[in-house]
Structure 1
Amino acid sequence: MATLAPATFLAFTQPADLLVQSLVAPARGALSPVARAPRQAATAMGSSLRSRRPSTTGPLHDRRIVITGASSGIGAAAAHQIAANGGTVLLVARSLDKLLEVKDSIEAEGGTAFAYPCDITDSDAVERLIEQIVHEHGTIDMLVNNAGRSIRRSIALSHDRFHDFERTMSLNYFAAIRLILGLLPHMKANAFGHIVNISSIGVQTSAPRFSAYVASKAALDAFSDVVATETLGSGVTFTTIHMPLVRTPMIAPTTMYDAFPTLSPEEAANLVVRALVKRPVEIGTPVGTFGELMHALAPKITDRILHQAYKAFPDSLAAQGERNPGEKAPENNTKSTGPGLSRRTLLLARASRLARTQPLSGTATAMMRLLPGIHW
């Protein structure tokens, strides 16, 4: 599998000429200018907002900030950076043990953090969570909807998996809305609030195999766009971050991503801090903006390009039917599956082994180089 130089994902506040250069760069033989730029460019967006020790006069001083999915990945990294900028972090995730590890780490650096274990797909649990944090902290200033799940599976393998769509919407959309609806009255009463939603570059590019994931993120985008027009006069604003590919546990099952240019969780956390401090309407990348333009100006051509991407990149191992490492094998599998399904399972397992060992095709490599950060 090819190894690529690290890519940079720039906010679309970068100069327009850099964006244009990245779009006309050749797809073969060299990375585009956006991908060749130093990786530190993404870090630079948040470097001025960070400090090694928590600040009592930082841009987030005296702000109480709820962040979901705070036990690992982007959430944990963002929690550290929020605390370093003076914010009080209210950590939310299902695992108390992991939350306490993040909390202790933040406090060891001199920051302030509180751990709140909660399954945010449970409406009763969310109601209790909101009552508790409002009672204990009074004012809740900001919310970061970071928790999410991703499913990379083609529609051809999804005909009998409606539950995938239900579970994805439950966490990525309905759970976020529960928190927004629960905290909005308190924010409006204080005439201030800011809500950051971690969306995806996939909403802008419509990458194949992510129908469940992209639909859930697009729904939250649309909800926030509408609600923002209603709450602006109350002092409550929204930021949507169209996050490019980030190396977190969520993408680990897709082994081909090992060769992809990605952001680190710390670089992604810079974007979260920027969203909290600057409070723009949207943060994204030139590639994502280009994807939106292509869909608007040349939809048929864009569909053809994406169809080629669909053919170039294989389904993930999980989608192909291979169990994740450590997963217990079902008992008496052949007894209940029948000969047809057993043969299908065998073929999918063989395909997954080939996908693990075969390098990416030339088409796939070219797309990966030219358009870094997309969830192929």
Structure 2
Amino acid sequence: MSDNKTYTFTEHILFPSTHLNPGKLRKAVANKRILITGASFGIGEQLTYILAQAQANLILVARSKEKLEGVKKQAEQLGGEVEVFTADLTNETELEALINKLKNDDTGIDIFISNAGKSIRRSVFDSLNRFHDSTRTMALNYFAPVKLSLALIPRLIKQQGQIITISAANVLLIPAPKWHAYQASKVAFDQWLRAASPELREKRVAVSHVYLPLVKTRMIEPTEAYKNFPAMSADHAAKIICKCIVNRQRKFKPWWLIFGEIGSVLFRSPIEFFMKNTNTK
């Protein structure tokens, strides 16, 4: 399986090719029950197709019923067994309906991939009368995956399964202006799962944190500043997630992120000064 051939030279350097062995992936996921949230577009969609080829048994969750049915049809043609559940995970009633369905399913769950997410970039001064910017991002990026995880943990323990959270590289970096709602919500679930990880691993449930760079999905389209930024393809991101399944590895982050993490500690003041005086739209 080769990575996206449309990368620029810079993207090839920043996002080295990920080799995914189809045989090992099939051995790891064939007939396993895998729950994927945010499955109708972007990373979730591409991940669905790769896992379908490996003969996984998939439960796909997303808001768009028509698009979800289209993904299901294509995934089934690739060899996967697919079930879909239409739900807005920010809606408490719909989230509870999903949880009840999963709890009443005798088959169990082997892997939970928390991929659904909401991004928003807005100045704090433009949010003074928009508290819902924070509540909506927290609802999808934090409360929904926490509630799903708590519901699924007994089943994951029984299956010696895995939780995978699709996070963002900037969770590990100095907070950026205008991203207060988004970054707070992503950090919240990352910290929650990191705190829960030792207990889960003691019960033989693997936990994987996937810290992705900018990815070419519809989520980044509203941000004008990202149009010319290097970005990973959704297919490449999906392969990285699959490798985390095969290896049950605890963490993925881009090779260059360590320099950003060090810089965030050593050069916090100049970085904050630069960000404050950089007017990106």
Q: State TM-score, norm by structure 2.
A: 0.89
CA offsets, 1:292-348, max 9 Å, x none?
22233x1xx233224313433423xxxxxxxxxxxxxxxxxxxxxxxxxxxxxxxxx
Ranges of 4+ aligned residues in structure 1 off by more than 6 Å = none
Quote the Cα distance in structure 1 between the aligned partners of 2:233 and 2:65. 24
Contact residue 110 and residue 159 of structure 2 kept, 8 A: no
Does residue 192 in structure 1 map to residue 160 in structure 2? yes
Cα offset for 1:242? 0.8
Partner of 2:76: 107
- Which of 7, 10, 15 aligns to 2:10? It is 7
Quote the Cα distance in structure 2 between the aligned partners of 1:249 and 1:146. 14
Alignment of 1:241-320 (within 5 A): 241-296=210-265, 298=266, 301-315=267-281
- Which of 28, 38, 48 aligns to 2:21? It is 48
Partner of 1:338: none
Q: What letter matches 1:204 in structure 2? A: L
Does residue 172 in structure 1 map to residue 141 in structure 2? yes
Cα offset for 1:170? 0.8
- Which of 156, 172, 192 aligns to 2:125? It is 156
Contact residue 110 and residue 160 of structure 2 kept, 8 A: yes
Quote the Cα distance in structure 1 between the aligned partners of 2:213 and 2:22. 21
Quote the Cα distance in structure 2 between the aligned partners of 1:137 and 1:116. 17
Count matched residues: 274
Contact residue 110 and residue 162 of structure 2 kept, 8 A: yes
- Give the 3 Å change call, closer, same or farther, for CA 156–311 of structure 1 in structure 2: farther
The runs of 5 or more residues in structure 1 that have no matched partner are: 10-33, 316-376
Partner of 2:192: 223
- SS state at 1:67 partner: strand
Q: What letter matches 2:162 in structure 1? A: H
Partner of 1:343: none
Contact residue 109 and residue 159 of structure 2 kept, 8 A: no
RMSD: 2.2
Matched-pair identity in %: 33
Q: State TM-score, norm by structure 1.
A: 0.68
Bigger Rg over Cα: 1
Quote the Cα distance in structure 2 between the aligned partners of 1:252 and 1:295. 26
Partner of 1:201: 169
Quote the Cα distance in structure 2 between the aligned partners of 1:157 and 1:79. 37
- Give the 3 Å change call, closer, same or farther, for CA 245–172 of structure 1 in structure 2: same
Cα offset for 1:260? 1.2
Quote the Cα distance in structure 2 between the aligned partners of 1:303 and 1:204. 17
- Give the 3 Å change call, closer, same or farther, for CA 215–6 of structure 1 in structure 2: farther
Quote the Cα distance in structure 2 between the aligned partners of 1:248 and 1:170. 21
Cα offset for 1:151? 0.9
